[in-house]
A and B are shown apart, each in its own frame.
Chain A
């Protein structure tokens, strides 16, 4: 048993923390959050410094590290700010699918521009409320000579208005489930933006696909791999969201400690009241629990055959710990916590948005209990 990060991991964590401390600016955050803007300059700089795609092999511009190191970066960024950190953590959504299932050519073509901060990739999967299940997909890819013609509607696509390419899951045909890599095309793709409560720096949208033409070479994975690819996608999404959640707990905790040591009521600092001290103690508990569950799930993922149980356990527990910690941090701030000038206000909204990415407790328990009972 080894409960310590390696020296290299600690260095990455430290570098990411320093980057967040130096580059994230509360005024900019407030503006981007309120107006739904993307932190373009910070993204470019983060990419220049090697914070995007650390887990890609070196030949594609990455550092050849594992997903745990990527999770450490996401955690540090989200601890710096829930909004900016989350925005930076989804610029290459779906890259792991190309890494695991893609051809050499696909990797060469799509991965290096992500690492360099030149392009953004996203995944268009869900079509209805039932997005943990493949069977709900009705988007079709009709096979023609040389191309597929894609028709359908994908809902809640992250970075819908910003992404340069999309991995689109299409309905089962004779070839099985069809994940296709599609480059943005103004004429056949239409995005309807969604105004949402949290994670406002990540523009979401519904994606209308009207006879989008994609070459046969853009098929991701081989025949019969669709289901594996789908499960793998949910695991990667789960891990990324977990790292975000962990960062958000830390961010709420940092701010709560700082404020408790500043604010005085009844002639005493808030940190001198037992009730406040205990809230902080419980946040520390939440942070530790979420941290080790997340690191373990990430480490598990980096093995070849992943056991999905640690990931589900982490998603259920860290999700609750996160919204609890942010809620209590806001409570410590009192009225100030409710006002947008204090960062904890958007942490609260972002936490609930991350919680929705993690999935409902009920559906996660459904999945976990199936594993425990040997039914899934």
Chain B
């Protein structure tokens, strides 16, 4: 057992930290306020090879491992979870299925431009009536000659308003619950595809989130991932497994940011005529934050390490997501609470950490779903 990053990973960590501080940090306030994503960032991070970190070199990616992806995710989310969400969905949920299950042609026409940041990806699974119950989606893709005709509604879609393509889940056989699903790549220009509305959210403001409609949207059969009808849910499993481990890194990043802010606050402020850092209760709060972050980070790395070796089960990914996203809540809540009214001011990032972190217990499988996954793995 070696509990240390290797030299290459340490070098990478140092490099991405600098890049995100230089390229992302100056954008945060403006784009959070506007509630839009800084689109030019895609090309910039594409040039740095940071969009699809696990994509092999033959398709233009750096071909790094999941641990490295988590390192990058933590550093980016320490700066901004909203921007982190857009980048994560693009490189993970949208691009991953194409990399794993797409044809050579799809990899060339979607994955490679995505790696460079020339095309922005989104991921369309959740629907108004199907959130936790993914098999309950109602979007259908019915075969008509050389095309599939897609009809349905998707919601809470990150990058929804800015995407060039969406990796969409739909039933090719609605009679087979769960089994009859397939994934399709839909172009922004495809007739019948439209963005209905942008959603106003509690947090992750710099991530564009929208509702998408597919109204007799015809795509050629070549845009289906995989060669046969059915089996889309199994394809999604791998993508979601990876995504849930990523949430460990996302949580660690936001937690670290909240901790850093809290530590400097506590060192500066006086309360009751005494320096706040002399308060034993406050020292315990900070100690607990530090402990949680350390455990979150290593739990994440372990999940990523298992994933890199092909050993990660869905249960392992669920443990990472559940533990880290729940631990994060206590950190950001205490971070806001100890600053009292000052913690509520929009100019103070600590309130953003609270609002951003709250999403993590919901998206990509709620905490309740993670409990179910873990319980099922216990043979219950």
Interface set of A (CB-CB < 8 Å, partner B): 34, 126, 128-133, 135-136, 155-156, 194-199, 204, 264-267, 275, 323, 327, 330-331, 334-335, 337-341, 345, 348-349, 352-353, 355-357, 359-363, 365-366
Given A335-B156, A335-B363, A338-B202, is A356 in contact with B273 using a C-beta cutoff of 8 Å? Answer: no
Cβ 8 A contact of B269, one of A129, A156, A356, A359: A129
B202 touches A334 (CB 8 A): no
Among A128, A129, A195, A337, which residue has the most Cβ atoms of chain B within 10 A? A129
User: Chain A residues near B341 (CB, 8 Å)?
Assistant: 126, 155-156, 196, 204, 356-357
Is B346 located at the chain interface by the 8 A CB criterion? yes
Q: How far is the CA of A334 from the CA of B133 in the complex (A)?
A: 12
Q: How far is the CA of A354 from the CA of B111 in the complex (A)?
A: 47
Distance from B374 Cβ to chain A, minimum over Cβ atoms (Å): 13
Cβ 8 A contact of B126, one of A128, A198, A335: A335
B362 touches A337 (CB 8 A): yes
Q: How far is the CA of A204 from the CA of B340 in the complex (A)?
A: 14
Cβ 8 A contact of A339, one of B199, B329, B367: B199
Closest residue of B by beta carbon distance from A34: B200
Cβ 8 A contact of A130, one of B126, B272, B371: B272
Q: How far is the CA of A293 from the CA of B229 in the complex (A)?
A: 60
List which B196-224 residues lie within 8 A (CB) of chain A: 199-203
User: A-B pairs with the 3 shortest C-beta distances?
Assistant: A340-B200, A197-B351, A265-B133
Q: How far is the CA of A363 from the CA of B337 in the complex (A)?
A: 11
Distance from A298 Cβ to chain B, minimum over Cβ atoms (Å): 24
Q: How large is the interface on B (under 10, 10 to 19, 20 to 34, 35 or more residues)?
A: 35 or more
Given A135-B273, A331-B366, A335-B363, 17 new contacts (CB under 8 A): A130-B271, A131-B340, A195-B347, A196-B341, A196-B346, A199-B344, A265-B131, A265-B132, A275-B371, A327-B329, A331-B361, A334-B362, A334-B366, A338-B358, A357-B341, A365-B281, A366-B279
A348 touches B361 (CB 8 A): no
User: Chain B residues near A338 (CB, 8 Å)?
Assistant: 201-203, 358-359, 362
Distance from B336 Cβ to chain A, minimum over Cβ atoms (Å): 6
A266 touches B272 (CB 8 A): no
Closest residue of A by beta carbon distance from B126: A335
Q: How far is the CA of A327 from the CA of B133 in the complex (A)?
A: 21
Is B5 located at the chain interface by the 8 A CB criterion? no
B136 touches A360 (CB 8 A): no
Among A323, A330, A335, which residue has the most Cβ atoms of chain B within 10 A? A335
User: Chain A residues near B344 (CB, 8 Å)?
Assistant: 196-199, 352-353, 356
Distance from A58 Cβ to chain B, minimum over Cβ atoms (Å): 36
Chain B 342-374 near chain A by CB (<8 Å), digits 1 or 0: 111111000100110011011100111001000
Is B270 located at the chain interface by the 8 A CB criterion? yes
B285 touches A362 (CB 8 A): yes
Q: How far is the CA of A357 from the CA of B344 in the complex (A)?
A: 11
Q: How far is the CA of A250 from the CA of B333 in the complex (A)?
A: 21
Cβ 8 A contact of A349, one of B126, B202, B362: B202
Is B155 located at the chain interface by the 8 A CB criterion? yes
A130 touches B273 (CB 8 A): yes
User: Chain A residues near B337 (CB, 8 Å)?
Assistant: 352, 355-356, 360-361
User: Chain B residues near A156 (CB, 8 Å)?
Assistant: 341-342
